[in-house]
Amino acid sequence: MLPLCVVLDSDNRLVAQGEFSGDCAGYVLQTPADFAGSMTIAGLFSYPDPAAFGLAFGTTFGLVLFLAAVATTVGEVSGFFSSTTQMEEL
């Protein structure tokens, strides 16, 4: 069911104006499921909690630095055993 646009008439009664559109000048009635869905979508596009954002950024940045250090170490160790870096005997 789509949200419903309602307005107050002169007797202070709610009168339905039809389905909600951008030019609704009254109130919007919606089902609990529609309201829960709109709050979920609004939560997706809201600003994150600063502490959680800092933790996620720090963890990701630390993981990238750790993997770069591991890759460098593995490259140096594998280069040590590579035959292309050894001097050939005459």
Question: Within a domain: residue 75?
Answer: yes
Same domain for 8 and 40: yes
pTM of the model: 0.44
The number of distinct structural domains making up the chain is 2
Same domain for 78 and 58: yes
Q: Is 24 exposed, middle or buried (0-12, 13-18, 19+ CB in 10 A)?
A: middle
Task: Say yes or no to pLDDT of 85 above 60.
Answer: no
CA 58 – CA 74 distance, rounded (Å): 24
Same domain for 18 and 35: yes
- What is the span of the domain harbouring residue 35? 4-44
Same domain for 58 and 37: no
Task: Say yes or no to pLDDT of 42 above 80.
Answer: no
Task: Say yes or no to pLDDT of 87 above 90.
Answer: no
Residue corresponding to tokens 């996620």: 56
Question: Within a domain: residue 65?
Answer: yes
Burial 72-83 (b: 16+ CB within 10 A, else e): eeeeeeeeeeee
Same domain for 58 and 40: no
pLDDT in tens, 21-31: 788 888 888 88
